[in-house]
Amino acid sequence: MLSVTLGPGLLSQVFDGLQNPLEVIAGKHGFFLPRGIDVFPLDQRKKWLFTPSVSIGDKVEAGQAIGSVPEGRFNHKIMVPFDLKGTAEITRILEGNFTVEEPIAHIKTSKGEERELALAQRWPVRRPVPEKMLKSRVVKRVYPYEPLTTTTRIIDTFFPIARGGTACIPGPFGAGKTVLQNLISRYSHIDIVIIVACGERAGEVVETITEFPNMPDPLTGGVLMDRTIIICNTSSMPVAARESSIYTGVTLGEYYRQMGYQVLLIADSTSRWAQAMRETSGRMEEIPGEEGFPAYLDSSIKNIYERAGVIKTSDNTEGSLTMIGTVSPAGGNFEEPVTQATLGTVKTFLGLSSGRAYKRFYPAIDPLISWSRYLDQLKPWFDKNINADWVNEVKMMHEMLHRGEAIYQMMQVTGEEGITIEDYIDWQKATIVDMVFLQQDAFDDVDVTVSSERQQESFALMKKLIIQDYKFKDKDECQEFFTKITGLYKNFNYSPVDAPAYKNYKQEITALSDKYLSI
Ligand code: ADP
Ligand code: MG
């Protein structure tokens, strides 16, 4: 079974699905990978400063920290091997500078076996890291209870993803999956990002590994790569590497979660991974299921997403692994097996539509087909941290959008003249929610990332505009009004919170809408 090496020095690396470090390989062999090479994933010469946190005679359990080394700005916990059964006693513990393979401690298990520990340990990728520790209750699973802040309005407000939860982003080619996953990994409030880039063409992956790493990290001022690991594969890599890439990524994610970090894993696109699985299955002459995928496609997808979650360790640190996968169904047909199996597993569905992408309504998440189970599941959190009406208000706003669409469809048949002014106003209201709240400008320095507080403030302003009753002479006046408000609102979105313009636009919006109040 394929195993990975877990230890300091994983961050900022680019690996293939078998954890070969691609930069090292490129340095040795050039850019065309020779067959069958196997390179140690971590730097074998680098010395890490190890500071122990246990002493001789201490009793330890699987996953418990025995000390740490600084890895960039992270405190990398060195943990007792995850497969240890029962408790063991520390019989030797060192302090100082060590490579990842040198011994730093000895333990004696309850059965009297001696084991030597190094900074790095190995783990089979198909087995969840906490599996045994959950059984022996060394770690506990905690139900995801708070949202992950992505700073993308349509996600955080309408279709939230829980910290430690799961989401999928299906969408046809060119709908903006990769751009969205880059935005999410760049701006989400998390410690560590793992990107599993499964590309059709090598070019898709090249963008991710050349542009992404050098981007500034909005949370720390460093570069993003300092807190990122990329697992990358293209169609030209061996099928085994392509198939294992997601498992490798998840295992690395579970490793940092075990240290108490908030980890985000993004897999783009899981369809390529499923294709690798189909190839392997075909070669093994297994009985194919739907569209040639193996019959276990469903359970394989479930097994992967089930490894997301919040974990509490015995020393009460809490870490999380949130998983987001994009799916690229051929022709944008969501009925195909990979999309369907994924939809049956994840709790947030952010469906991209080519129609919205064509109109350049970005992010092209279609509010009429998307959903999030977390809106209800995290209600206690929203009640406590925003307000007790939040979830209902979001649902009301969501219904508005559906109503707007229904009116729009009607107008397609009857023309603008065929509908009442009341319906016309409702359609305009739904449109403005879309234009200034659901859409977000990734090319504007301010609008690209919106804090939760600002989203809530904007939502309150939006709500005020929506629930008001207006009086207009005719549809032209109504249209003129909403066009003006939309313009002001966009400028409001582009203004930094601390700039005078922010307050001014807000006041202008309120003043203008008050002029047309029906009393
Ligand atoms: P996919 O991965 O779904 O095939 P991409 O993410 O590569 O699609 O997006 C295709 C193109 O659409 C991008 O190159 C960009 O021009 C445009 N695009 C996608 N999302 C956005 C966005 N949020 N803002 C602006 N342009 C976008
Ligand atoms: Mg893409």
Tell me how many degrees the CA angle 345-135-58 measures, rounded to the nearest 5. Answer: 135
Closest ligand to Cα 442: 1
| Average per-residue pLDDT for the chain | 92
Tell me how many degrees the CA angle 271-276-282 measures, rounded to the nearest 5. Answer: 125
pLDDT in tens, 165-211: 999 999 998 899 989 999 999 999 999 999 998 876 666 666 677 77
- The minimum-distance atom of ligand 1 relative to the CA of 442 is 24
403 φ, ψ to 5°?
Answer: -65, -40
- Residues with CB under 6 Å of ligand 1 are 171, 173-179, 362-363, 442
| pLDDT (0 to 100) of residue 204 | 66
As given in the structure block, the two tokens for residue 349 are 């569905």
- In this structure, what DSSP letter does residue 127 have? S
Closest ligand to Cα 183: 1
CA distances from 517 to 286, 466, 504, 512 (A): 68, 12, 20, 9
pTM assigned to the model: 0.94
pLDDT in tens, 73-122: 999 999 999 999 999 999 999 999 999 999 999 999 989 999 999 999 99
The kind and range of the H/E element at 338 are helix 337-343
Asked whether 320 and 310 are in contact (CB, 8 A), the reply is yes
Asked whether 118 and 101 are in contact (CB, 8 A), the reply is yes
Strand-pairing partners, residue 233, are 198
Give distance in angstroms: CA of 332 to centre of ligand 1.
Answer: 15
Mean pLDDT of 415-436: 95
Looking at the chain, the whole-number percentage of residues with pLDDT higher than 70 is 96
- The minimum-distance atom of ligand 1 relative to the CA of 171 is 3
| pLDDT (0 to 100) of residue 218 | 83
Give distance in angstroms: CA of 278 to centre of ligand 1.
Answer: 28
Asked whether 148 and 271 are in contact (CB, 8 A), the reply is no
User: In terms of residues, how long is the chain?
Assistant: 519
Q: What is the per-residue burial (b if ≥16 Cβ within 10 Å, else e) of 222-237?
A: eebbbbbbbbbbbbeb
Asked whether 192 and 227 are in contact (CB, 8 A), the reply is yes
The string of DSSP letters for 223-260 reads BGGGGEEEEEE-TTS-HHHHHHHHHHHHHHHHHHHHTT
Burial of 194 (0-12, 13-18, 19+ CB in 10 A): buried
Q: Which amino acid is at 267?
A: A
- Residue of 179, 187, 352 best suited for mutating to test ligand 1, as the one with most atoms within 8 Å of CB: 179
pLDDT in tens, 379-415: 999 999 999 999 999 999 999 999 999 999 999 999 9
* Antiparallel, parallel or unpaired: β 318-327 and 262-268: parallel
Give distance in angstroms: CA of 172 to centre of ligand 2.
Answer: 9
Give distance in angstroms: CA of 353 to centre of ligand 2.
Answer: 14
